[in-house]
C-alpha cells in the first residue's frame, strides 16, 4: 500500500461479499461532484440522502438506491466521499463499481475534462488509512475500527468502541503531555546551567516521575486487559487417549462439538472452538491423545500426536487431563509422567494446569490419587460428565490469564500497544534512577524521557514508520 499514490481517488465495495439487503460502493477523493452527477443524474445535497436510480453510460438505471455526498474535510477520510447504497447482490455491486471507474474516465460535457482522473480500486484498509493521514483519527483509533469489526465477544466490541471514541488515545496523550512538561524543565536546566537552579528539588522531578510511573502502570494494566479481550487465550487440552478431553471440550462449550466414545483414540486430529468466559475469548483446542510414538496404532495417529505437540508449543495454557480411574495403574502413571516431562516448565512457556477428570466415577480412588505426590503447577479435580468443578476451572483460567473481573472502562488494545507501554515504563524507570543521583545526570535523564515519549507516540501514530502503517492497514478488509 505504501507504494500507491495516496492522492489518487479510490473506490471499492464497502460491504461484505455475498448477498445482502443493502450493499455500498464508496468513493473517496477530491472533486467528486461531476462523478456524482453522472452516476445519479441529479445534484446531491451534502450530507442528505437522495433516493433515485444509479445510471449506466446510456442513462439507463442499473439499480435504485440512496446516494450520499460528504464534502471534505467533514467526512470519514477527510476527502470528498460519495456513497452509493443499493441492493446487496454481488452482481449489482460489481456493476456499480465498474460504472464508477467508467464514468470517472469519461469526459465531462461541462468542463471538457475527465470527470475524476486516476480513479482506482482501493487497497485493503485504504479508506481508514486516509482518515489517519488526514488527522481524522489517530493510529490507535484506526486499529480499533478493525478490532470492532473482528470482535468475537460483546465485551471486546464495547471495549473497541471505547478505543474508537478516543478513550485509549486520551490516556496516552495525557501521559505524553506530562512527559513533555518534564522534558521542558530538564532541557531548560541543561541550556542554562549558569542559573544554578537545583532542578531536582525545585521542580520536584522525582515526585513527578513517581506519579507519571504510577499513571503509566494503570494504563498498562488496562491495556493488558484490552489485549486479552482482543486476542483471547489459546487453551490446549492434552493427555492420554480416553482421558476425557473431548468430553471436557463439549462440557465447556455446552454442545456436542467433538465425538465422544469409550474407544481410546477417537479424536485423531485437532478440534477447535472459541468460547467466552466473562467476555474473554477462549480458543480451545482438543488434541489427539498422547502416548509414545511406538505405541501409535498407525501413521494417522502419529501425525495427530505430532500436531498435538505443535499446538501445545503455541498455547497460552495447557490443560493436562489425568483419568482418575486409571491413576493407580503403573503403566498409565508412567505414561503421564513421560508426557509431563515434555510439557513446558513453569516460566518457560504455556501455563500447565493438571486436571484430574472423571471424579464422578473415580470417587473411590480420588482421595488416594490426590494423596500421591502432585505434579508442579495448579491441580483441579472435576467431572466433565456431570459438570462438577467446571466453574472453578473457568475462574482459574481467567486468573492465570491475568484477567481482573468487573473492570469498568477497559479499552481494546493490541500486543504492540502493550510492548510500547512496557518500553516507555523501562525508560521512565531509568529516568528515575538518573534523577535519584546526586550529581544530576540530567543529560541521561533527558534522553530517557525522550525515548519514553517516542515509545508512547508509536501507539497513536505520532512516530510511525511507513512499514508499520503498511503492516497495520493491509490487515483491514477492502472497502474499509
Considering the domain architecture, whether residues 351 and 453 belong to the same structural domain is answered as no
In this predicted structure, what is the pLDDT of residue 427?
95
Q: How many domains does the chain have?
A: 3
User: Do 78 and 136 touch, CB atoms closer than 8 A?
Assistant: yes
Structure confidence at residue 265 (pLDDT) = 47
Question: Does the pLDDT of residue 8 top 60, yes or no?
Answer: yes
What CATH number did the domain enclosing 37 receive? 3.30.1360.120
Preceding peptide of 395 cis, ω within 30° = no
Name the domain boundary from 102, 136, 170. 136
DSSP code string of 321-333: EEETTTTT-HHHH
> Considering the domain boundaries, does residue 109 fall inside one?
yes
Q: Is residue 466 part of a domain?
A: no
Domain end, chosen from 350, 367, 401, is at: 401
- Both 86 and 115 in a single domain? yes
Mean pLDDT check: name the lowest of 55-69, 136-150, 247-261. 247-261
Residue whose grid cell is 483491514:
476
Output DSSP code: residue 379.
E
Angle between helices 126-133 and 139-150 (to 10 degrees): 150
- Do 281 and 357 have their domain in common? yes
435 against 235, higher pLDDT: 235
**Which residues are annotated as part of the binding site for Mg(2+)?**
246, 267
Asked if residue 53 and residue 22 are part of one domain, the reply reads yes
Based on the number of CB atoms within 10 Å of its own CB, is 106 exposed (0-12), middle (13-18) or buried (19 or more)? middle
The residue among 1 and 439 whose pLDDT is bigger is 439
Please check whether residues 65 and 121 belong to one and the same domain: yes
Look up the CATH number of the domain holding residue 207. 1.20.120.430
Binning pLDDT at 50, 70 and 90, where does residue 133 land? very high
Q: Which residues does the annotation place in the binding site for K(+)? A: 242, 261, 263, 266
Q: Which residue has the higher pLDDT, 131 or 480?
A: 131
Residue found by looking up cell 541550556 in the block: 191
Annotated binding site: 26, 83, 136, 242-247, 261-267, 286-289, 357-360, 383-385, 480
The annotation places the binding site for (6S)-5-formyl-5,6,7,8-tetrahydrofolate at 26, 83, 136, 480
Instruction: Answer with the residue of higher pLDDT: 118 or 304.
Output: 118
* Crossing angle of the two packed helices 154-164 and 167-191, in degrees rounded to 10: 40
Residue 327 lies in a domain: yes
Residue 219 · residue 452 · CB < 8 Å:
no
Shared-domain flag, residues 129 and 216:
no
- 309 to 13, 187, 270: CA distances (angstroms): 42, 54, 11
More confident residue, 244 or 404: 244
Sequence ranges of the binding site for GTP = 242-247, 261-267, 286-289, 357-360, 383-385
Cα distance between residue 431 and residue 40, in whole Å? 61
Q: Would you say residue 373 lies in a domain?
A: yes
DSSP E strands: which ranges in 278-361? 280-286, 317-323, 351-357
pLDDT for 379: 85
Same-domain status, 191 and 128: no
Q: Using the predicted structure, report yes or no on whether residue 347 has a pLDDT greater than 70.
A: no
pTM for this predicted structure: 0.79
Same domain, yes or no: 321 and 372: yes
Same-domain status, 19 and 79: yes
Is residue 467 situated within a structural domain? no
Residue 382 domain boundaries: 232-401
Q: Are residues 345 and 379 in the same domain?
A: yes
- Classify residue 142: in a domain, yes or no: no
**Is 38 a residue whose pLDDT tops 80?**
yes
Do 394 and 249 fall within a single domain?
yes
Whether residue 143 is contained in a domain is answered as: no
Residue 361: which pLDDT band, with cuts at 50, 70 and 90? confident
Of 114, 136, 158, the residue at which a domain comes to its end is 136
Q: Has residue 237 been placed in a domain?
A: yes
Residues 374 and 449 in one domain: no
- The reported pLDDT for the residue numbered 128 is 94
Amino acid at each position: 500500500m505504501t507504494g500507491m499514490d495516496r492522492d489518487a481517488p479510490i473506490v471499492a465495495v464497502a460491504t461484505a461479499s455475498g448477498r445482502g439487503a443493502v450493499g455500498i460502493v464508496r468513493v473517496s477523493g477530491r472533486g467528486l461532484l461531476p462523478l456524482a452527477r453522472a452516476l445519479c443524474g441529479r445534484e446531491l445535497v451534502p450530507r442528505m440522502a437522495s433516493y433515485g436510480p444509479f445510471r449506466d453510460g446510456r442513462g439507463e438505471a442499473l439499480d435504485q438506491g440512496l446516494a450520499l455526498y460528504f464534502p471534505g474535510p467533514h467526512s470519514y477520510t477527510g476527502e470528498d466521499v460519495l456513497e452509493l447504497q443499493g441492493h446487496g447482490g454481488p452482481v449489482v455491486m460489481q456493476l456499480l463499481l465498474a460504472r464508477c471507474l467508467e464514468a470517472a474516465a469519461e469526459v465531462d460535457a461541462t468542463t471538457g475534462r475527465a470527470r475524476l482522473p486516476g480513479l482506482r480500486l482501493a487497497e485493503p484498509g485504504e479508506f481508514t488509512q486516509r482518515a489517519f493521514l488526514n488527522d481524522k483519527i489517530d493510529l490507535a483509533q484506526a486499529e480499533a475500527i478493525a478490532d470492532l469489526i473482528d470482535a468475537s465477544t460483546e465485551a471486546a466490541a464495547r471495549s473497541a468502541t471505547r478505543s474508537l471514541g478516543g478513550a485509549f488515545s486520551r490516556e496516552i496523550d495525557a501521559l505524553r503531555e506530562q512527559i513533555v512538561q518534564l522534558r521542558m524543565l530538564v532541557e531548560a536546566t541543561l541550556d542554562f546551567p549558569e542559573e544554578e537552579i537545583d532542578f531536582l528539588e525545585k521542580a520536584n522531578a522525582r515526585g513527578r516521575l513517581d506519579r507519571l510511573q504510577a499513571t503509566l502502570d494503570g494504563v498498562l494494566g488496562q491495556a493488558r486487559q484490552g489485549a486479552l479481550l482482543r486476542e483471547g487465550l489459546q487453551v490446549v487440552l492434552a493427555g492420554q487417549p480416553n482421558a476425557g478431553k473431548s468430553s471436557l471440550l463439549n462440557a465447556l462449550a455446552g454442545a456436542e462439538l467433538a465425538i465422544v466414545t469409550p474407544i481410546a483414540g477417537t479424536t485423531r486430529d485437532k478440534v477447535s472452538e472459541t468460547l467466552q468466559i466473562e467476555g474473554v475469548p477462549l480458543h480451545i483446542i482438543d488434541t489427539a491423545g498422547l502416548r509414545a510414538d511406538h505405541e501409535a496404532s498407525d501413521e494417522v495417529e502419529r501425525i495427530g500426536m505430532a500436531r498435538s505437540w505443535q499446538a501445545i508449543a503455541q498455547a497460552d495454557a495447557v490443560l493436562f487431563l489425568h483419568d482418575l480411574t486409571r491413576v493407580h495403574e503403573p503403566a498409565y502413571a508412567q505414561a503421564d509422567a513421560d508426557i509431563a516431562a515434555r510439557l513446558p516448565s513453569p516460566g518457560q512457556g504455556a501455563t500447565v494446569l493438571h486436571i484430574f477428570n472423571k471424579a464422578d466415577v473415580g470417587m473411590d480412588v480420588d482421595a488416594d490419587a490426590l494423596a500421591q505426590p502432585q505434579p508442579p503447577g495448579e491441580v483441579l479435580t472435576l467431572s466433565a460428565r456431570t459438570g462438577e468443578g467446571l466453574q472453578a476451572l473457568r475462574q482459574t483460567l481467567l486468573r492465570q490469564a491475568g484477567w481482573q473481573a468487573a473492570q469498568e472502562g477497559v479499552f481494546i488494545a493490541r500486543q504492540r500497544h502493550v510492548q510500547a507501554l512496557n518500553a516507555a515504563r523501562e525508560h521512565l524507570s531509568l529516568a528515575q534512577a538518573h534523577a535519584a543521583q546526586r550529581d544530576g545526570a540530567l543529560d541521561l535523564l533527558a534522553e530517557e524521557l525522550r525515548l519514553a515519549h517516542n515509545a508512547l507516540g508509536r501507539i497513536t501514530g505520532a512516530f510511525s514508520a511507513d512499514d508499520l502503517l503498511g503492516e497495520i492497514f493491509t490487515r483491514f478488509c477492502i472497502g474499509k
